[in-house]
């Protein structure tokens, strides 16, 4: 299994998916989400989950990586650009923008890239699962991983850099 995105070209994430884009939510959080295509999933895949994480954020946060997007119960192998805002056929979790004192409901879904100090590398991890997960809109990061236990068929990662 592997994942590709037309929003990541030669290892670089296009400006429109982060702080140099044109779509923002409360708190000026970038909300225009990456497209993706999941290729060659394992037999028996019933759903996908995804996590978009910035581990380079550890140096500029109070010691944690930054979760930009979590989603679960995706039952198709693609997402178009900006589907975090419009799609209703999968659930999305809370992103790390909640640490900026934004209301929980404003931190569900895609919260794009905004590295403050230098280019950061982002990892989009996709998980193939043998079931739908018992998660609801607004689930927490840890809830996703607990729900996936014993249901993982395969996983893959796509990495990309976004400039400061």
Q: Rounded to an integer, what distance in angstroms lies between the CA atom of residue 98 and that of residue 104?
A: 6
Indicate the pTM of the whole model: 0.97
72 and 147 in contact (C-beta within 8 Å)?
yes
* pLDDT tens string 91-131: 999 999 999 999 999 999 999 999 999 999 999 999 999 99
Q: What is the CATH architecture assignment of 2-162?
A: Alpha-Beta Complex (3.90)
Q: Does residue 72 register a pLDDT over 90?
A: yes
CB contact burial 107-132 (16+ within 10 A = b; e otherwise): bbbbbbbbbeeeebebbbbbbbbeeb
């Amino acid at each position: 299994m592997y994942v590709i995105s037309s929003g990541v070209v030669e290892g670089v994430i296009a400006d429109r998916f982060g702080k140099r884009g044109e779509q923002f939510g409360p708190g000026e959080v970038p909300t225009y989400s990456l497209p993706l295509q999941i290729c060659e999933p394992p037999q028996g895949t019933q759903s996908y989950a995804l996590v978009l994480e910035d581990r380079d954020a550890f140096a500029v946060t109070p010691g944690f990586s930054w979760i930009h997007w979590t989603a679960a119960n995706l039952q198709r192998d693609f997402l178009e650009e900006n589907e975090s805002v419009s799609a209703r056929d999968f659930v999305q979790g809370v992103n790390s923008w909640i640490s900026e004192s934004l209301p929980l409901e404003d931190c569900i879904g895609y919260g794009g890239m905004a590295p403050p100090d230098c280019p950061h590398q982002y990892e989009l991890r996709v998980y193939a699962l043998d079931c739908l997960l018992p998660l609801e809109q607004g689930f927490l990061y840890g809830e996703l991983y607990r729900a996936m236990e014993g249901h993982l068929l395969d996983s893959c990662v796509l990495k990309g850099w976004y400039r400061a």
